[in-house]
Structure 1
Amino acid sequence: MLHILGRREDGYHELQTLFQFLDYGDELEFALRDDGEINLCTPIDGVPNESNLIVKAARRLQQLARTPLGVDIWLKKVLPMGGGIGGGSSDAATTLVALNHLWQLGWDEDLLAELGLTLGADVPVFVRGHAAFAEGVGEKLTPVDPEEPWYLVLVPQVSVSTVEIFSDPLLTRDSPPIKVRPVLEGNSRNDCQPVVERRYPEVRNALNLLGKFTEAKLTGTGSCVFGAFPSKAEADRVSHLLAETLTGFVAKGSNVSMLHRKLQSLF
């Protein structure tokens, strides 16, 4: 869900949203360097390294920590760009958390989340790694434990600009604040969905097709569309039925991120 409560004087929007993780995502590998160089060894086509949130996160942490150490980074990109499912933000958060360990900085989670907020409003939730009800611009987090169903995530072949959607004059910006409990009971919506559907017929088509099998929802500002299922078998069945017209993937919902599951197994 994503409720837009209003626009602030600084141009950002007050919102309420619910974050939950998937057991599916990009993979990052890090190798320590002692010469201070930060290298992304697997650049993304069309995205200069200097603009990549991974590189920005590493350099900002290096600068603030005043460490002489560097890193080589390899990215296996799985999540679609412009899909609204936090691929770039989770990569940035993973970089901050991983380099805090690799460089032995000893920063606590609060400091890392504070730094993450300067990179993007939804970076802090990935730093903290627990499902959360978010307020403010997305940085005020209340941990929650919703059900963890199986999801079918459809990926329309279109990239949606978050700035474009939040700038649309038809976007409603007057939703009243809601408490956590009604959200967990399903009493919510995505205020961005009507705007995205109007601008992107590919997304509207995906919502309509998935909506024949389960309640179809938009992820953030899109473009990905998802629906919940009680079992992997049921999610797989619908995925196969839609495979001729739409690409997508099946993943398990998780209230603890894969990054933090990995950390728990290592430490």
Structure 2
Amino acid sequence: MKSYAKINLSLHVKSPRPDGYHNIESLMQKVDLADEMAVTLSDTFTILCDRPLPEVNTLTKAYDAITAVYGQLPVAVRLNKVIPMGSGLAGGSANAADLIHAVDALYHLGMTMEEKRRIAVEVGADVPFMLESHAGICEGIGERVRPLSLGDYIGVIVNPGFEVSSKDVYEHMSLNPQPLSMERLIEVIQKRDLDAVSTALRNDMEPYVFSRYPQVKALKDTMGRFTPACLMSGSGASVYGLFVDEGAAEGAYRYFADRVCTFKVKFL
């Protein structure tokens, strides 16, 4: 199965919560950049990945959350990572969401989507969105998802090759009290007007990340030479540009591909 990445077209961090999370409002969009994952029945729960994973990761968290409700349901996971880790593209969240779907199917549990969401939110804020939507508005800590359709875009995603800790960003960023104009953002995206989109894209995490990692700001500044519609995704360190013209996207891709980890993608 393919575990698809996402980008944030908006990310407004509204307020901290007593549970340690933050209330957010975000417009997320899946793209066709994906990890490859296979899940099969097994005698024990195992993970075989082509890259080193932390001992505690989104897959172990998802499995623990599933077994806390349904008991031991061992599976073997084989994972080929393509999405950079710690990149703001939710690769780990996508893996966790697909594991929930796979265990449900392999063991014929008949989970409802609401039951899957309750498990997903125990794993991480992006996992509920990754369960079911190609695009959507996410609120609360991310568990409330309103699916929608944004149309066709080409994206060029660039990653500087290092991870950014979401926990660190949430702990040290300054909150932006200005409300997010979500409906305007959706409207201009659906009209495919890149100049208008550029004025509506917003990520409240950029100021802190840019101050700590000037390389990320430099990537966005350079991307801005190819398209006005560019933004950091999630807590970074990936930056993307949006395009409606294949030639323009290809020009940006060729420039960056010689310098940093680069992907040309399409909206799902």
TM-score when scaled to structure 2? 0.86
Measured in 2, the distance between the counterparts of 1:245 and 1:32 equals: 42
- Which string of whole-angstrom CA distances, capped at 9 and with x for unpartnered residues, describes residues 88-114 of structure 1? 101000000111101111111110111
Whether the aligned pair in 2 keeps the contact of 1:165 and 1:171 (CA below 8 Å) is: no
Whether the aligned pair in 2 keeps the contact of 1:192 and 1:220 (CA below 8 Å) is: yes
SS in structure 2 opposite 1:238? helix
Cα displacement (A) at 1:65? 1.3
Gaps of 5+ in 2: 1-9, 189-196
**% identical equivalent positions:** 29
Is 1:66 aligned to 2:75, yes or no?
no
SS in structure 1 opposite 2:92? helix
Picking from 50, 54, 65, the partner of 2:59 is 54
Is 1:14 aligned to 2:16, yes or no?
no
Measured in 2, the distance between the counterparts of 1:46 and 1:109 equals: 28
Q: Which residue of the partner structure matches residue 31 of structure 1?
A: 40
Whether the aligned pair in 2 keeps the contact of 1:4 and 1:14 (CA below 8 Å) is: yes
Measured in 1, the distance between the counterparts of 2:50 and 2:36 equals: 14
Aligned pair in 2 of structure 1 residues 54, 232: CA closer, same or farther (>3 Å)?
Answer: farther
Whether the aligned pair in 2 keeps the contact of 1:6 and 1:175 (CA below 8 Å) is: no
Measured in 2, the distance between the counterparts of 1:130 and 1:243 equals: 26
Cα displacement (A) at 1:64? 1.4
Matches within 5 A, 1:159-238: 159-168=163-172, 170-176=173-179, 178=181, 180-184=182-186, 185=188, 186=197, 187-214=200-227, 215-238=229-252
Is 1:40 aligned to 2:47, yes or no?
yes
Measured in 1, the distance between the counterparts of 2:75 and 2:19 equals: 35
- When the two structures are aligned, how many residues end up with a matched partner? 247
- Which string of whole-angstrom CA distances, capped at 9 and with x for unpartnered residues, describes residues 98-139 of structure 1? 111011111111101110000001100111233111111111
Picking from 95, 98, 107, the partner of 1:94 is 98
- The worse-fitting range, judged by mean Cα deviation, of 197-206 and 227-236 is 227-236
Cα displacement (A) at 1:31? 1.6
Measured in 2, the distance between the counterparts of 1:59 and 1:167 equals: 26
Whether the aligned pair in 2 keeps the contact of 1:239 and 1:250 (CA below 8 Å) is: yes
Cα displacement (A) at 1:42? 2.3
Measured in 2, the distance between the counterparts of 1:211 and 1:177 equals: 22
Over aligned residues, Cα RMSD in angstroms?
Answer: 1.7
Cα displacement (A) at 1:198? 0.7
**Where does structure 1 differ by over 6 angstroms across 4 or more consecutive aligned residues?**
none
Gaps of 5+ in 1: 255-267
Measured in 2, the distance between the counterparts of 1:58 and 1:232 equals: 40
Cα displacement (A) at 1:172? 2.1
